[in-house]
Amino acid sequence: MKLGIIGTNWITQQFVEAAESTGDYQLTAIYSRHEATAAAFAAKTHEATLYTELPAFFASDLDVVYIASPNGLHAEQAAAALNAGKHVIVEKPMVTHPSQLALIESAQAAHPECLIFEAARHLYDPNFAKITALVQQRRAALTGATLVYAKYSSRYDAYLAGENPNIFSPRFGGGALMDLGVYSVYAAVAWFGVPEQVVYLPSMLASGVDGGGVAHLHYADVDVNLVLGKNYNTSASSEIYFGKTTLQLGATGSLDELKLVGAETADLHVTQPANPMVDEARYFAHALMTHDQNAFEQQWQLAKQVHQVLGDLRATTTIKFGNDPQ
């Protein structure tokens, strides 16, 4: 498939390397706001046609667009790509407010030949599927979970220095919940279902977004806590509790361990590829090339539930984004 990219930061380079390693994609078009940035990206990857205008980029001969722009631009760009007849792989979070899902949904409905997937990469890690199966098998014994994802951001020093990085800006839907919490909410909804009640207690930054926080997800039978932060590091593991036995899984975004401890002990971890985006790139390629409608429907329904929960969590706080509905 001919691949076009929006966003020229390191994550796009990692995705292009992962995608091309599968043999199913070839980078053919690079969009950047600045030609020099597009050219520098091509120099780091390989030759491709450069665009500085989105309409010309979308009108070009492309099969699939990978979107890794600031969060607040995802929904509009994804809908524009679908409306131009392209498949879409959009970075997490696909939207910054659940109301934006309708824009994407109607664009996809108007172009049913095109599919869209959110690049929530942990979903495609074989360790994620192992946890899903284990929770299903042991659901009756489930007594709760603590899902952790906290990492000192490479942009936090710039934020402290008075710069205004997008990821700490409400203008672009930044903050810990949207950036890292999305991984834990995906995990919670995929493993335990949609919670009955949610609340988020953010640790607010002066910019108006959350530097971190603690969320509580209440289910009829269990309670799940999410611990997230972009201004500290933790070595604490995420854990799922089954009475006397606990499953430890590392950070929800990386699933870098998977072991049973307590009454039972076992190491269940599957080795991961060096590039963490290879599994998702392969999954998307197969789904797009075979027009796997079931895969699309399943992931779309999950994404809708996740973004509704994220919206409900944010509604319990004072966090407001630049493109929220008035």
Ligand X SMILES: NC(=O)c1ccc[n+]([C@@H]2O[C@H](COP(=O)([O-])OP(=O)(O)OC[C@H]3O[C@@H](n4cnc5c(N)ncnc54)[C@H](OP(=O)(O)O)[C@@H]3O)[C@@H](O)[C@H]2O)c1
Nearer to ligand X, 207 or 245 (CB): 207
Question: In angstroms, rounded to a whole number, what is the distance separating the alpha carbons of residues 293 and 253?
Answer: 26
Min separation Cβ 300 and ligand X, Å: 18
Nearer to ligand X, 138 or 171 (CB): 171
Pick the binder of ligand X from 3, 116, 176, 179 (CB under 6 A). Answer: 179
Counting contacts by CB under 6 A, is residue 307 touching ligand X? Answer: no
Where would I find the H helices in the chain?
10-21, 35-44, 54-59, 74-83, 101-110, 126-137, 156-160, 176, 182-192, 278-289, 293-315
Question: In angstroms, rounded to a whole number, what is the distance separating the alpha carbons of residues 67 and 284?
Answer: 14
**End-to-end Cα distance, the chain:** 39
Question: In angstroms, rounded to a whole number, what is the distance separating the alpha carbons of residues 224 and 144?
Answer: 6
Scan residues 120-159 and list those touching ligand X (CB under 6 A): 121
Contact 125, 257 (CB under 8 A): no
Pick the binder of ligand X from 5, 25, 27, 32 (CB under 6 A). Answer: 32
For the CA atoms of the chain, what is the radius of gyration? Answer: 19
Pick the binder of ligand X from 3, 5, 68, 78 (CB under 6 A). Answer: 68
Min separation Cβ 166 and ligand X, Å: 3
Mask of contacts with ligand X, 108-127, x by CB under 6 A? -----------x-x------
Counting contacts by CB under 6 A, is residue 33 touching ligand X? Answer: yes
Counting contacts by CB under 6 A, is residue 166 touching ligand X? Answer: yes
Question: In angstroms, rounded to a whole number, what is the distance separating the alpha carbons of residues 67 and 75?
Answer: 10
Pick the binder of ligand X from 3, 5, 8, 175 (CB under 6 A). Answer: 8
Strand-strand pairing, 87-91 and 64-67: parallel
Counting contacts by CB under 6 A, is residue 92 touching ligand X? Answer: yes
Residues that bind ligand X (CB under 6 A): 7-9, 11, 32-34, 37, 68-71, 73, 91-92, 119, 121, 166-167, 179
